[in-house]
Amino acid sequence: MKHFFREYGFPLALFLVTVIAFLPECRSGRDNQPDTHLANTENEASEPPDTMWHGKNKQLIPGARDTGNLIWYGEQLIERTSYYLGPKGTVAQITNGLNCQNCHLGAGTLPYGNNFGKVYATYPQYRARSNKIQTIYDRINGCLERSMNGTTLDTNAREMKAIYAYMRWLGEGVPKGKAGSGTGMMKLPYLDRAADPVRGKAVFVANCQTCHGADGQGQLNGEGTGYTYPPLWGPHSYNDGAGMTRLGSFASFVKNNMPFGTTYHAPRLTDEQAWDVAAYVDSQPRPHKDQRADWADPEKKPIDYPFGPYTDSFSEKQHKYGPFKPIKAAHEHKTHLQP
C-alpha cells in the first residue's frame, strides 16, 4: 500500500484536483444550455389560449340508463345517419345516404366544422328563410329535407328525441342566447372578382377528387349502406335548397376543414382557392327542391343566395358567383337611405 501511494499518490492527487476544478465548469456549461422542458413550457405559456368551443367526446355521455342511452343514440344518428335512415336504413328509409356529420364534422363537435355548439343556446329563433320561429325539431327536419334530400321525422319519433337530447347535451354550459367562438362559420372576405368554377375545377382535381372522386360522386362504404366520402353533386348529394349552395357558406366550410386533415389552425387552401372550388362544386347538377315558400321577404335574402327574385338590379349569376362587394355596397347604401 505504501509502495502504491509512493508511486501513484501524486498523479492521483493531481487528477482529483483537476476533476474538482472542472466540475463548476461542467455545471456552468450545462446551465448555459437551454432547458428543453422549461423552454417548451415558456413557449406554450406565450401562445394565446384556444378559446374556441370544442364539443365533448362521446365517451363522456352519461351512463344513466334512460338519458344516457338516448343521448348516445342521438350521437350515433348524427355519425351513422345512413345506417339508420338511409336508402338501406334499419329504422326508416328517408335520406339520400349521407351522414349528418358529412357537414357537421366530428358529429357536430369541431370548431368551425359546422358544429352544434350554439344550437341549444339559440333555438327557438326566427329564420327569415322560413319566415317563422323555428324550433330545434324544425331545424333538424330542414336538414333532412335539404342537405339529405329526404323527408322529415315526426317530432315524437324516438330518433328525433335522441338527436335533440344529443344537441342539448353538447350545448350544456353555453349561456342561453349566446354563440361562442368557433360555433359558426368563419366568414371569408369577399373577392374583388367573381368566384371562378374553371379555376375551382383545378383546385378540386388537385385536392378533392382523391376522396370525392373525379366525378364528385364520393365513395360508398364496404357494406353499401352509406358513404365513406360523400358525393358533392349528383342525385345522392344535397339538393339546391341546402345551405351549402350558398357560396359563402361552402367556401368558409372548405377553407377551415378541407382537404381531409385541415383544421382552422392550419388551412391548406387560400381564400381564393376556397371560393373557386366552392363555385365549381355548386355549378354542378344536384336534386331540386321546391323553394317557392322560402324567403317571403326577398329583402332578407343573403347576398350570395343563388335564386331570385331579388330587390336589387344584380343578376342571378352575380348573386351566385359574385363579385359580391358591389352587391354589399348597394345594399348598405340602400339601408343608409332608409328613414
- Grouping H, G, I as helix, E, B as strand and the rest as coil, residue 187 is coil
| Burial of 4 (C-beta count, 10 Å sphere; 0-12/13-18/19+) | exposed
Residue 95's closest CA among 152, 12, 22, 163? 152
Q: Which amino acid is at 210?
A: T
Distances from the Cα of 213 to the Cαs of 160, 218, 329, in angstroms?
Answer: 32, 5, 39
Q: In this structure, are residues 243 and 302 in contact, taking their beta carbons and an 8 Å threshold?
A: no
Would you give the DSSP letter of residue 263? B
Q: What is the per-residue pLDDT for 214?
A: 97
Q: What is the per-residue pLDDT for 41?
A: 37
Q: What is the per-residue pLDDT for 40?
A: 39
Residues 6+ apart with CB under 8 A from 108: 55, 78, 100, 101, 114, 115, 116, 117, 167, 170
Q: What is the per-residue pLDDT for 82?
A: 97
Residues 6+ apart with CB under 8 A from 97: 82, 86, 87, 225, 226, 227, 236
CA dihedral 106, 138, 145, 213 (to 10 degrees): -20
What is the rounded distance in angstroms from the CA atom of residue 9 to the CA atom of residue 159?
89
Residue 272's closest CA among 184, 186, 199? 199
Q: What is the per-residue pLDDT for 158?
A: 98
The neighbour count for residue 197, using CB atoms within 10 Å, is: 18
Q: What is the pLDDT of residues 215-248, one digit of tens each?
A: 999 999 998 889 999 999 999 999 999 999 999 9
The C-alpha cell that represents 9 in the structure block:
499518490
Q: What is the per-residue pLDDT for 333?
A: 87
The C-alpha cell that represents 239 in the structure block:
339538393
CA 39, 42, 48, 50 torsion-angle sign: positive
Q: What is the per-residue pLDDT for 133?
A: 98
Q: What is the per-residue pLDDT for 81?
A: 98
Q: Which amino acid is at 257?
A: N
What is the rounded distance in angstroms from the CA atom of residue 88 to the CA atom of residue 96?
10
Residues of the chain with pLDDT under 50: 1-47
Q: In this structure, are residues 123 and 136 in contact, taking their beta carbons and an 8 Å threshold?
A: yes
What is the rounded distance in angstroms from the CA atom of residue 269 to the CA atom of residue 154?
40
Residue 120's closest CA among 65, 58, 172, 42? 172
In the chain the domains, ranked by start, together with CATH numbers, are 58-170 (1.10.760.10), 197-337 (1.10.760.10)
Q: What is the per-residue pLDDT for 63?
A: 87
Neighbouring-strand partners of residue 134: 125
pTM: 0.84
